[in-house]
Amino acid sequence: MDNMRAVAYICVLAQCFAFSAALAQSNPIHNPSHIPIDAAIASERMPADRVEDAWRKPREVLTFLEVAPGQHVLDFYAGPGYYSELISRIVGPTG
């Protein structure tokens, strides 16, 4: 049982180190007003996603996340991909 606990701790520590390395490589956003969030929200999307906009508040969430063109973003536990689609439109083909 102690071996299992040690393995679990090692896995958690490895994930923490990997996450901290990813944060260290992120590009700081100097002017969030240039984020093309409105264009991503206004783009052609599934009607069901547009209905969810009212309660998911994509403009507020994506502004808070400070997603910008060219960034590499991981949508962990993306579920049906509502935000994944919007984020991919914002980061563009180089992100």
DSSP string, 30-76: S-GGG--HHHHHHSS--HHHHHHHHHH-HHHHHHHHT--TT-----T
Q: Which pLDDT does position 54 carry in this prediction?
A: 94
Sequence-distant (6+) residues with CB within 8 A of 70 are: 27, 91, 92, 94, 95
Q: Which pLDDT does position 91 carry in this prediction?
A: 92
Q: Which pLDDT does position 7 carry in this prediction?
A: 67
40 contacts 90 by C-beta, under 8 angstroms: yes
Q: Which pLDDT does position 85 carry in this prediction?
A: 93
Asked whether the predicted pLDDT for residue 18 surpasses 80, the reply is no
- Give the tens place of pLDDT for each residue, 23-82: 555 555 554 555 589 999 999 999 999 999 999 999 999 999 988 899 999 988 888 999
Both structure tokens of 5: 């606990």
Question: For the whole model, what pTM was predicted?
Answer: 0.62
Q: Which pLDDT does position 82 carry in this prediction?
A: 93
Both structure tokens of 9: 């701790």
Q: Which pLDDT does position 90 carry in this prediction?
A: 93
Angle at alpha carbon of residue 27, lines to 21 and 31, rounded to 5°? 150
3-state secondary structure of 45: coil
Q: Which pLDDT does position 83 carry in this prediction?
A: 92
